[in-house]
Amino acid sequence: MIGRAVTAMSKLLPVPPERVQFFNWIDGVDEPFTIVGWHAFIHDAHPIPGGLSISMTVRAKVSGGFRVGTAYVEEYTLTDRGLEFVSGSRHPNAPARDIYKL
């Protein structure tokens, strides 16, 4: 199931507005960084009627040798009707507003 989810998400590359809003502090006045992409890890995929339920953790990618520790968990359904964003929330074990030097 994970392989099927990775293949699908790698093709679709979703960026829901909720994720952008969650990480908007990075492009803010207080942080001198710009988001240049996303790091995503699919940690669960299981069958549902007509498709898959997918859960993944996403971190913003920033330039300049820095890494974002803050993480966002996203839930999706993938069916023959397409990919649907279900929900998103801050990862409970990840720090809030965390950027560090590599």
pTM of the model: 0.92
Tokens of 95: 């720090």
What's residue 18's pLDDT?
98
SS3 at position 55: strand
Q: Residue-wise pLDDT tens for the chain (102 aa)? A: 899 999 999 999 999 999 999 999 997 666 678 899 999 999 999 999 999 999 999 999 998 889 999 999 999 999 999 999 999 999 999 998 899 888
CA atoms within 13 A on the CB side of 63: 5
CA atoms within 13 A of residue 81's CA, in its CB half-sphere: 6
* Domain locations along the chain: 2-101
